């Protein structure tokens, strides 16, 4: 398997199901893994913000990885999120994670301490020097108040084991500049469900999706049609699920997507603080547009 080719298409930023007592629901995690793969997603992404990773301890993180790796049974690649605002802590984190069956690491820009572009370059260079696996960068200003500028990304793209970026800046000019100037085999992956279709029209490699937790077939079909240049078919699916997509993020993620998953009886509607369910009025709206 050539990893860069295998990571084109749809990855799913998986939720972490919880029980009533807020412990991890491993049975539903296994079921969700099977359902996603059976509906043609291309890879799985664990321990991202969608998985409520800031609320998980190291033991729980490894239990999640082991559960999904076993359920996956080598069918699709698995990416694990490891990032933070202390470069040294990120490096030390590598020694605490069981990477057996994992194919790459997704690493978000530091948050809160707002490093310069030179600081970001040095942060990711050090991480890449110590990483046991290929690195995919992740920029999302709305969560971090820190943007990885395209010039910095292009500089990092020269490091052999930095193989791509999850681009969720929402800045079309930034994204198009990056797509125009990137190395040919450097992955630029959408991190925005709602605008993935136009982004793929200008050359994105695919999508790491939140919505695909509940609607894997629809999202996979849309992205695969776009990859084949069948934009009429892709646009129809995009329009069919647009209200659902927007509802998933209106009051925060993963609160929105977990509401849809609970209506599908795939998980219980439980989160760990500080995250809470969506408002009653928004849940009523979600029920009104819900598709099983």
Residue 68 counted as domain residue: yes
Are 228 and 46 in contact by the 8 Å Cβ rule? The answer is: no
Residue 19 burial (C-beta neighbours within 10 Å; 0-12, 13-18, 19+): middle
pLDDT of residue 142: 80
pLDDT of residue 1: 53
Residues of the chain above pLDDT 70, percent: 100
Instruction: Please report, for the domain that includes residue 179, its CATH number.
Output: 3.20.20.70
**pTM over 0.85, yes/no:** yes
DSSP state of 24: B
Residue-wise pLDDT tens digits, 20-64: 999 999 999 999 999 999 999 999 999 999 999 999 999 999 999
Residue 249 counted as domain residue: no
Which residue(s) pair with 43 in the sheet?
11
What domain count does the chain have?
Answer: 1
* The two structure tokens encoding residue 66: 């082991």
Residue 211 counted as domain residue: yes
* Pick from 24-28, 63-67, 137-141: least confident: 137-141
Residue-wise pLDDT tens digits, 154-200: 999 999 999 999 999 989 999 999 999 999 999 999 999 999 999 99
Alpha carbons 14 and 46: distance in angstroms, whole number? 6
Instruction: State the chain's mean pLDDT as an integer.
Output: 96
Alpha carbons 274 and 87: distance in angstroms, whole number? 25
| Active site (catalytic) residues | 138, 166
Residue 24 counted as domain residue: yes
Residue 202 counted as domain residue: yes
Residue 41 counted as domain residue: yes
Q: Quickly state the pLDDT bin for 292 (edges 50, 70, 90).
A: confident
Average pLDDT over residues 230-242: 97
Average pLDDT over residues 136-150: 90
Residue-wise pLDDT tens digits, 84-103: 999 999 999 999 999 999 99
Task: Give the domain extent around 48.
Answer: 8-230
Residue 194 burial (C-beta neighbours within 10 Å; 0-12, 13-18, 19+): middle
């Amino acid at each position: 398997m050539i990893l860069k080719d295998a990571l084109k298409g749809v990855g799913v930023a998986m939720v972490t199901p919880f029980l009533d007592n807020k412990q991890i629901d491993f049975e539903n995690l296994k079921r969700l893994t099977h359902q996603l793969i059976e509906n043609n997603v291309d890879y799985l992404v664990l321990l991202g913000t969608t998985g409520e990773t800031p609320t998980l301890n190291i033991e729980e993180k490894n239990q999640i990885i082991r559960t999904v790796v076993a359920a996956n049974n080598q069918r699709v690649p698995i990416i694990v999120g490891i990032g933070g605002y202390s470069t040294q802590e990120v490096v030390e984190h590598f020694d605490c994670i069981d990477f057996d069956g994992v194919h790459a690491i997704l690493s978000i820009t530091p948050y809160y301490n707002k490093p310069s572009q030179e600081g970001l370059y040095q942060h990711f260079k050090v991480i890449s020097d110590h990483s046991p696996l290929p690195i995919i960068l992740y920029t999302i200003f709305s969560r971090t108040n820190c943007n990885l500028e395209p010039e910095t990304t292009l500089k990092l793209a020269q490091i052999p084991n930095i193989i791509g970026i999850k681009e969720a800046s929402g800045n079309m000019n930034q994204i198009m500049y990056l797509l125009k100037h990137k190395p040919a085999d450097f992955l630029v992956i959408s991190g925005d469900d709602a605008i993935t279709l136009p982004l793929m029209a200008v050359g994105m490699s695919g999508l790491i999706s939140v919505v695909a937790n509940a609607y894997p077939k629809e999202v996979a079909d849309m992205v695969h049609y776009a990859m084949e240049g069948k934009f009429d078919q892709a646009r129809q699916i995009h329009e069919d699920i647009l209200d659902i997509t927007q509802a998933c993020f209106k009051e925060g993620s993963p609160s929105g997507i977990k509401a849809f998953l609970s209506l599908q009886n795939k998980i219980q509607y439980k989160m760990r603080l500080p995250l809470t369910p969506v408002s009653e009025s928004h849940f009523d709206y979600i029920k009104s547009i819900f598709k099983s």
